[in-house]
Amino acid sequence: MLVKQGKEKKWFRAVWRQNSTVKMIDQRLLPKKFKIISLKNHKQTVKAIENMAVRGAGSIGATAAFGAMQAVLEAKPKNFKQFIERAFYRLRHTRPTAHDLFWAIERIDFAIQEKNPRKAKISAIKEAEKISSEYCERGKKIGKHGEKLLKNGTRMLTHCNAGWLALLDWGSALAPVYAAKRNGKIVFVFVDETRPRLQGAKLTAWELANEGIPHRIIADNAAGYYMSEGKIDLCIVGADRIAANGDTANKIGTYEKAVLAKENSIPFYVAAPTSTFDPNTKNGKKIVIEERPEREVLFIGKQRIAPKKSRAFNVAFDVTKAKYIKGIITEKGIIKPKKKAIKRLF
């Protein structure tokens, strides 16, 4: 997407490859500072996923693909297979909930099977680039299908960040908004702040402001009020893993919004590429939910906001049952969150 740099706008992608180096926008610094970081080996890429320099299911997937590629390029002929297995293991244990991460690593793993080191390196590069390009195209198609849900003047609620920072070039939940703008529609977005890391206030708002899309940031616990007042017409959120029955894991707080939307007869949609679906996970109860450091809840930035003796729980995701979801917007169209509909995708 285009990002304002001084008086000009320049095109950037959330994450990309430059030879064997992975380049990405450091999302931890936004909106105060726009910085590109360079990750020169797979260990640095692992750290970037762990510390959330990159986040968002699709961008994590692309980063994992590039990280796996780096591991293949770094491996020496003498212990080629063992080195790659250790590196892939490390990548798989960075963020347990996001299915795209595992999907991307499996793609690289499959691409290099039964190949000698030289051919494996070539295949890893090609497959990583292919995965990145596919994410861009899938986001664009999600935007095309989802845009049909948005009328001129629609007031939409979203949670966390599922824009182009989270899925290369277009995003998932915000892709329909960007597509609507390009078709001349005005859409107003209610942006949940999304505690504890404030991805809505920091990242979604930054994207929308950069695109010139009208929006307001609201406290996480204010969404119910605006729904009850009839000020929200539609909800669209992203996803980190979608089970075979349509149950969906997304940023903590999503479940609350879905229940509130149902209570107020507001359509609630999930937007995600097919790489986010996990056909091997039967339902939401089987999804592994990541727990992150309690510091994220106890502090805002470097400032502690809680008493020194207080501790915190910090689950990063929750699961929204399929019964609360009106539809899932994919690159193949909008489907019902039903087993048969999901099975047909594959």
Query: From the candidates 100, 192, 233, 240, which is the catalytic residue?
Result: 240
CA distances from 334 to 175, 194, 327, 329 (A): 14, 26, 6, 4
3-state secondary structure of 119: helix
Active-site residue 318, yes or no? no
3-state secondary structure of 176: helix
Kind of pairing between the strands at 155-158 and 234-237: parallel
Residues 273, 329: contact at Cβ < 8 Å? no
The contacts of residue 340 (CB under 8 Å, 6+ apart) are none
Q: In whole angstroms, give the CA distance from residue 119 to residue 109.
A: 13
Q: In whole angstroms, give the CA distance from residue 108 to residue 70.
A: 11
Neighbour-count burial of 79, counting CB atoms closer than 10 A to its CB (0-12 exposed, 13-18 middle, 19+ buried): exposed
User: In the chain, what is the straight-line distance between the N-terminal and C-terminal CA atoms, in Å?
Assistant: 30
Enzyme catalytic residues: 240
